[in-house]
Structure 1
Amino acid sequence: MTTAAGGAGHSGTGVIAAAALAAVAAVAGCAGTQADAEQLYAEARGQNLLFKQTLAGVQVHLYDGDWQVQEYGDLPVDCGAGYGFSLSRTTPEGWTLDGDAHADGPTFGAHAVRWLADRGWTTQPVATSDDGTTRVQARNDALHIGSLTIEIRDGAASADSVAVYAATDCYDGDPDELTAILIPGWPDDPVAHEPLPASEPPGAVPVFGFTEDGHPR
């Protein structure tokens, strides 16, 4: 009986110890998951900030006022082997080439190509489509900009516009996991959050995700 009792006691201690180890492992797993999420967010924020700062330099050169936001550029895009970012901006309604030293689409585009090339971008020759749209295309491997397109529409000073489209290279990481960090509750119950800017000047401090209360981070 004593042996049986002692055996039972030892068995109970083992169960308790095993449960304690499982609890510690679970806590460690949660901590690891939290740390991984924080690292993913920090890395992605740095990449997003570099992306937007780089494009801000291009935007300021083209037009130094507020740009209309078409695609804000905060949410990750699935690029097959990870995630990337893309954005698009356009000059405001009423903007014209009048008064610019490069006051027509092809001249403006050629100037943009020279400016980019002088700053280390790999550029393609200016192209003009049948509808009069001038297109500049470039990339910057050193700054991880996989593609940059500038479209200049010359509307005889009545509907001129410049549009900037850009996308980063592909970064390691799960785009769905990053989206869930940026928008708490996504995809089942995403938090209601403050609206993103409809327009902003180049170089504005970018929003990158929201808190559990829906405030910009």
Structure 2
Amino acid sequence: MTEPAPRRPARLSRWLAVALLALLALPGCTGTPPHGDELYASARQANLLFKEAVATLLVHVSDGSWQVQEYGDIPVDCHRGYAFSLHRTTYEGWTTDADGPTTADRLGDWLTARGWTTRPPARHADGEVVVEASDPALDVATLTIEIRGGAGRADAIGVGATSTCFDGDPAELTAILYPGWPDHPVAHEPLPVGELAGATPIFGFTEDGEPR
């Protein structure tokens, strides 16, 4: 079930505005990685801004729910701290009004017009077309759009993205997000298996297993 398309851009704009204000309110960089509450606060805002950048593309592709393959809250190691990685796919039966190559060209042009660095679409022998892009200004190190066609129509799109690196210890952050990790993580509500592109994401759980 989808929400009316005209309301979506305003929702995303409000989300971005709140995230930016919270980010500006954080303590200034001291040259040392954040820890504890400061690490959680800075990581939450980094995660919000990263996901908002990707969500803008998701809404452009499909103003509805997306299947969650990789939620994007677990920090992964990078060369100087941690990063986030997410992956979303359209639901089975979803179609667009053009074939795979045309859809790829349109999405590449749309990203380029908004300041992203894009590569020419790569067309594979199995019919899949892949668009790769990045925008470090939005903290998106890599963005990959996979378009799979069927009977001349693009009938599935997968969007994967990895953020730039942020200062902080990924193991410490994971233990904050999932109390008791790695030995005895608390039981918690499951992460969504489907999510509207503009939904405010969950970022960690309390000691009682409630989403934060």
- 118, 143, 160: which one pairs with 2:138? 143
Q: TM-score, normalised by structure 2?
A: 0.82
Give the distance between the partners of 1:147 and 1:114, measured in 2 at CA: 17
Displacement, 1:36?
A: 3.2
Give the distance between the partners of 2:127 and 2:42, measured in 1 at CA: 41
Query: Secondary structure of 1:74's match?
Result: coil
Q: Give the number of the structure whose residues are more often helix, by fraction.
A: 1
Give the distance between the partners of 1:188 and 1:151, measured in 2 at CA: 36
- 106, 122, 125: which one pairs with 1:111? 106
| Aligned counterpart, 1:86 | 85
Equivalent residues, number? 179
| Aligned counterpart, 2:42 | 43
- 167, 172, 176: which one pairs with 1:172? 167
Q: TM-score, normalised by structure 1?
A: 0.80
Give the distance between the partners of 2:129 and 2:154, measured in 1 at CA: 14
Is 1:199 paired with 2:194? yes
| Aligned counterpart, 2:203 | 208
Is 1:160 paired with 2:155? yes
Contact 1:94 1:159 in 2 (8 A): no
Contact 2:103 2:154 in 1 (8 A): no
Give the distance between the partners of 2:178 and 2:117, measured in 1 at CA: 35
Displacement, 1:204?
A: 0.4
Give the distance between the partners of 1:105 and 1:159, measured in 2 at CA: 5
Give the distance between the partners of 1:110 and 1:42, measured in 2 at CA: 38
Give the distance between the partners of 1:158 and 1:150, measured in 2 at CA: 16
Displacement, 1:81?
A: 1.9
Query: Secondary structure of 2:137's match?
Result: coil
Q: Give the number of the structure whose residues are more often strand, by fraction.
A: 2
Displacement, 1:158?
A: 8.1
Contact 1:135 1:152 in 2 (8 A): yes
Give the distance between the partners of 1:158 and 1:111, measured in 2 at CA: 14
How big is each residue's C-alpha offset from its partner over 1:42-92, in whole Å with a ceiling of 9 and x where there is no partner? 000000000111111000111111000000001101113210000000000
| Aligned counterpart, 1:96 | 95
What is the aligned-residue identity percentage? 61
How big is each residue's C-alpha offset from its partner over 1:6-31, in whole Å with a ceiling of 9 and x where there is no partner? xxxxxxxxxxxxxxxxxxxxxxxxxx
Displacement, 1:156?
A: 1.7
Gaps of 5+ in 2: 1-33
How big is each residue's C-alpha offset from its partner over 1:126-156, in whole Å with a ceiling of 9 and x where there is no partner? 1110000000000001111000000000012
Gaps of 5+ in 1: 1-34
Is 1:56 paired with 2:48? no
Query: Secondary structure of 1:203's match?
Result: coil
Give the distance between the partners of 1:114 and 1:156, measured in 2 at CA: 24
